[in-house]
Amino acid sequence: MDSSGRGKAPGIKDFYASEDLPGFDPGRSLGRPGDFPFTRGIHPSMYRGRLWTMRQYAGFGTARESNARYRYLLAGGQTGLSVAFDLPTQLGLDSDDPLSAGEVGKVGVAVDSLEDMAVLFDRIPLDEVSVSMTINASAAVILAMYFALADKRGLRWEELSGTVQNDILKEYVARGTYIFPPRPSLRIIADLVGFCQDRAPKWNTMSISGYHIREAGATAVQELAFTFADAIAYGQALIAAGLDFDAFGPRLSFFFAAHNDLFEEVAKFRAARRIWARIARDRFEAKNPASWKLRFHTQTSGSTLVAQQPENNVVRVAIQALAAVLGGTQSLHTNSRDEALALPTEESVMIALRTQQIIAYESGAARTSDPLGGSYYLESLTNDIEAGVLDYLKKIEAMGGTLRAIESGYIQREIQESAFAYQRQIEEKKRIIVGLNEFTAADNRLSFKLHAASKRLEKEQTERLRRLRAKRSKEKVEAALRDLRAAIDGGANLMPPLITTVKSLATLGEITRVLKDAFGEYRERISI
């Protein structure tokens, strides 16, 4: 970083030329898009054949409110849905649980039962719209509700397309919405993946996430390294559970952040593809080329958005979205200008969606595959990021693998140290953030209105739960919960009894209590 604060990072030269890449011949060294190891993209035509999925992450309040937002976005040209769940739902708590107080519907939608799931997707054709669900510790229960809803509508699971995040390891290191300890959590994940292989072949059963790792303060290199360390651990666990890598590998997907350093982000995505291609082919001996291809969703960075002069966030999001497109993403969410202050308004989410559409149809970025490929600077950055990631993976391997690295607190400490260093740069003005530590304004009054959460929300949701419990068959619920516990103790795949249990109208919290009783709860290891 130079004294001007413009962001000249250590090791970055004034300019790049052929001598910075000895033996580099763009034609030979890079190959073509669609060719292993897919540095230039996983498809030969990339966006000339099909644009990325425009998938805005949304969810707040009750299922009815979120359903209205989804239909608003679909009417505006969005091409896929992405569901945000509130913290109680992510933690397997019912909305009337004392621990849920003050959090119901705040950072996502509250889903307590199959009835909520039905309202959430009212008048949305599940066989036509792909649905991504950001849910991890309670992913199997939420997916069971989704499959049960499809049954209720007479839809075949083979028709359903979408993604369930189902990535618990990053919760222990970066996000914190865990319920069970790592090893039983891996069992639940393996059950979900194995169940979907034949029954829901178009469903992405895991979205292995670097996004939350990056948002917690990791560098671009750490984001990839710790994500791939998690992916390796999942691959090993699923194989140990008797699954074939080439059967589940093509349905694995990844989820990355896009930050403000345009070229670093593009290089990161390109490096990610070739790292995963070699992990899948060489480490796991995958024979199916579909297993080698890294498919990923990108979200622009919430942690880079600034509460001061929030209109500037529109520009930040545009740069980040462009990086994702130039890097070859398959799916993209663009954050809204007001997310440093509140949940986004309809006006703000439409600006965010229009940002994607302008990039797609007006910028020219989608006209050819890997438009920046061959740039000496970009190729050098790509090589450097790859080398840094591989170095981390070797260190984690030497420690005994990802679970050991998590249990020892190593990965958590690395992220914490990076986050601290970044904050120090801002405070010392070695990194300029416009409107925050430079180019500030005396008057920060907003030029637009913020989203206002309903004060009646929690009461409405808990009343809905009361009515559900009053009308359902208590005997049917108790029998389903007993069968679920028997399946846990007997080592059976948990997805069939979970689907039966949600159909009985057992609530998320009731189901989670059975799982907690069997598996226990995780307690975080504190590292100082």
Q: What is the pLDDT of residues 151-183, one digit of tens each?
A: 999 999 999 999 999 999 999 999 999 999 999
Q: By residue range, what is the domain housing residue 95?
A: 42-427
Q: Measured between alpha carbons, how far is 425 from 437 in angstroms, rounded to an integer?
A: 11
* Total of domains in the chain: 1
3-class DSSP state of 60: coil
Q: pLDDT at residue 1 above 60? A: no
- DSSP string of 327-360, one letter each residue: TT-SEEE---TTTTTSSPPHHHHHHHHHHHHHHH
What is the pLDDT, as a whole number, of residue 9? Answer: 59
Burial 366-377 (b: 16+ CB within 10 A, else e): beebbbbbebbb
Q: What is the pLDDT of residues 322-375, one digit of tens each?
A: 999 999 999 999 999 999 999 999 999 999 999 999 999 999 999 999 999 999
- Give the residue from 446, 108, 491 showing the smallest Cα distance to 308: 446
- In a domain? residue 2: no
Q: What is the pLDDT of residues 373-402, one digit of tens each?
A: 999 999 999 999 999 999 999 999 999 999
State pTM to two decimals: 0.94
Which of 24-33, 217-226, 464-473 has the lowest average pLDDT? 24-33
- In a domain? residue 456: no
Cβ proximity of 228 and 252 under 8 Å: no
- In a domain? residue 31: no
The mean of the pLDDT values for the chain is 94
Domain holding 110: CATH number? Answer: 3.20.20.240
- In a domain? residue 514: no
- In a domain? residue 24: no
- In a domain? residue 408: yes
What is the pLDDT, as a whole number, of residue 260? Answer: 97
- In a domain? residue 489: no
Q: Higher confidence at residue 523 or residue 190?
A: 190
What is the pLDDT, as a whole number, of residue 526? Answer: 61
What is the pLDDT, as a whole number, of residue 4? Answer: 41
- In a domain? residue 433: no
Q: Give the per-residue SS3 of 491-528.
A: CCCCHHHHHHHHHCCCCHHHHHHHHHHHHCCCCCCCCC
